[in-house]
Amino acid sequence: MSADPHPLNPAQLEAVHHLSGPCLVLAGAGSGKTRVITHKIARLLQAGYAPGQIAAITFTNKAAQEMRERAKSLVGPRAAKNLVISTFHSLGVRILRSDGTKLGLKEQFSILDSDDVLSILKDAGSSSDNALARRWQWAISLWKNQGWNSDRAAAEAQSDDERVAAVVMKRYEERLAAYQAVDFDDLLGLPHKLLQTDAEVRAKWQETLRYVLVDEYQDTNAIQYEVLKSIVDHPDERRRGMFTAVGDDDQSIYGWRGATIENLKRLPAEYPNLKVIPLEQNYRSTGNILRAANMVIGNNPKLFEKKLWSAFGDGDPVRVVECDNEEHEAERIVARITAIRGQGGALADVGREAEAVEFKNFAVLYRANHQARVYEKALRKANIPYKVSGGQSFFDRAEIKDLCAWLRLLVNNDDDPAFLRAVTTPKRGIGHQTLTTLGEFASRWKTSLYEALFAESLGSVLNARALGSLHEFGRYVNDLEYKARHTTGSEDAKALIMGWLKDIDYEKHLYEGEESEKAAASRWSNVMDFVDWVAKRCGGEIENDGGLTTETERKSVIEVAQTISVIISLAERGDEQNVVTLSTLHASKGLEWPHVVLAGVNEGLLPFKSEEDDMTPERLEEERRLMYVGITRARTTLAVSTLRRRKRGRETVQGIPSRFIGEMKLDEVVAKIDPREKLKLLREAAQQRALAAKAALPSDAG
């Protein structure tokens, strides 16, 4: 095990060395939780656990990859190789690949992406309405994350819309079973079902994974909690509860997608010997930033007490900026970035030597995606490079995923999700019943859907018309694959792809699927960009990040298709680019920057409230946690921007500073701002405290 140049603090050491039972590490923002997890892995190996018996579970592939790299540097590549470091969903895939046959799944079942699901739901609900299908998708996902099937959803339905969604869910379940496919939520729900109902499978995984560490525990939903319990609740009392949950109740911001803070409350009740260890020393931010964060989050009821502190000193004061409107705010953000870069090393990053301030040192964080547009416009005008995080990637657009599915099928005929998307996009008279029968046939003979399509005995289960439609599709794919394999050069590649799009009437499909011609034209424009993008790579030239053109060898369309996943990952890489980050607060969680601006901190935006919504105490608490997450992304400087007037739909309304600005108690954080802004905010802080005191009085008090 390699030596660590930075020793662990006492609380971190206590968390690392507690191996005798269940442990909850309350890891405040920037408190070194990943170091605790990786060092605890090393300690478990020292204590005699085999690498394959240790599971470290987190929420994103990026976080899992970072943890894997850090574990490798600490324990060495040989030990790290067999550690189970994955997301909850990847662990679910592992369980289903191993034991899913007990639920009737074939070993090479298909995993559907969001757009595949949407297409099946529209078919199941006999609707072409994307918005309606997305509402069904959202409802079904929430039900699945609560552990419900369609029968339970129907029994619990409270409205006509929910009853319809439950009926659609029933048909959707039937289609998934026939297609031998699962969706993202099934990667948790089906392993949960297996572990709950099959004692042999449960005993196998309890023996396989003898110690479990869970990162970002506050983000777990009901199903994830039950999966964890099934693995760690060993019948031998001496081995029960061998887990470490690492989380922060102050950063629980995903209630809208099923995460529940109740999972934190359940731990002490279900594991009376739970060891709770708070990590309060922050290694990221200055004292002024942390005091502002502590002031805000202190207004929420506490599950567990903790207060962040830093050894970096007070640092630059937290600043509040009041702007006339969104355009003025964007101008002031650009001016702030320019000013800080001009100061250079005068604002040295905490814990680091003074160095040039680069664009990648800045982030502008906001509550909702639509707020980004005005900041993008101002940054472009100032020639400041930027990236938008948390918005939709080009490669996540439905029309691009359609074309990628066809290309995936050309490369790998056994890719069942790609087959399902290609055969139904655009529709070609091959309906649900035909695909259900094909799926059942493929499952019985343990083949892919595409291979089953050419089986001689398929005619025994399908009528001549359905069989003819499938064969026509199969012949077209074969022919297209042959042409793609033998077509090189940008012009020929473009001609081939345009011919293919014409053959399948894809432009017509887009126009028929959109309510407005403008939306369809926009999607077709994206398709043309994609065609040019592929053709350029076939022609032997690729534009690099600097806009320069590098000559490479000519490739066939099939060769470009084979590397498409790599190309996409390169196109989406952004971690090392020297650009300003624009991000939603939700997408910023887990990240940090030296210089942060929280933009649009107004009532109605943060906390977010639409005209129809009631602001329940629980909603307000989650919005306050979101503000806390935003504040604690900053290392060296933090500016909080509020609007005097703001847009609401097509209207312009008076802007009311967010109550969270008052809760920061800036008179105690000593903010250096314009005198009139300071006076206004001090007055507001006093009003907030008076309101809070009044709310705390009994209802019959004067």
Q: What is the pLDDT of residues 353-408, one digit of tens each?
A: 555 688 999 999 999 888 888 898 888 788 788 888 766 555 667 888 889 889 88
Catalytic residue among 99, 115, 185, 215: 215
pLDDT on residue 595: 95
Q: What is the mean pLDDT of each run of 10 residues along the chain (702 residues)?
A: 66 93 91 91 91 88 84 85 87 88 79 82 85 89 85 89 92 84 87 92 92 90 89 85 89 71 85 92 91 91 84 88 90 90 63 69 91 85 80 69 88 84 85 85 84 87 88 91 88 91 90 79 86 81 39 74 55 61 89 93 85 76 92 93 85 87 70 48 52 47 36
| CATH topology assigned to domain 309-385+578-696 | Rossmann fold (3.40.50)
| Phi and psi based region of residue 330 (left: phi greater than 0; alpha: psi -120 to 50; beta: remaining) | alpha
34 is catalytic: yes
Would the CATH topology of 10-97+189-279 be identical to that of 395-572? no
Q: Calculate Rg over the CA atoms of the chain.
A: 28
Q: In CATH, what is the architecture of 10-97+189-279?
A: 3-Layer(aba) Sandwich (3.40)
202 is catalytic: no
DSSP characters for 413-464? Answer: TT-HHHHHHHHHSS--S--HHHHHHHHHHHHHTT--HHHHHT-GGGGGTS-H
633 is catalytic: yes
Catalytic residue among 216, 316, 402, 416: 216
Catalytic residue among 12, 38, 53, 251: 251
- Please choose, from the candidates 290, 426, 391, the residue with its C-alpha nearest in 3D space to the C-alpha of residue 298: 290
Q: Which residues contact 609 (CB under 8 A, 6 or more apart)?
A: 603, 615
123 is catalytic: no
Whole-model pTM above 0.75?
Answer: no
Q: Which residues contact 8 (CB under 8 A, 6 or more apart)?
A: 16, 32, 35, 36, 39
pLDDT on residue 391: 60
CATH of 111-179, picked from 1.10.10, 3.40.50, 1.10.3470, 1.25.40, is 1.10.10
pLDDT on residue 701: 38
Per DSSP, 475 falls in state H
Q: Where are the domains of the chain?
A: 10-97+189-279, 111-179, 309-385+578-696, 395-572
Catalytic residue among 633, 635, 659, 665: 633
Catalytic residue among 12, 33, 226, 665: 33
Cite the beta strand spans of 306-392 per DSSP E: 309-310, 319-323, 362-366, 386-389
Tokens 């022609």 correspond to 539
Q: Which CATH superfamily is domain 395-572 in?
A: PCRA; domain 4 (1.10.486.10)
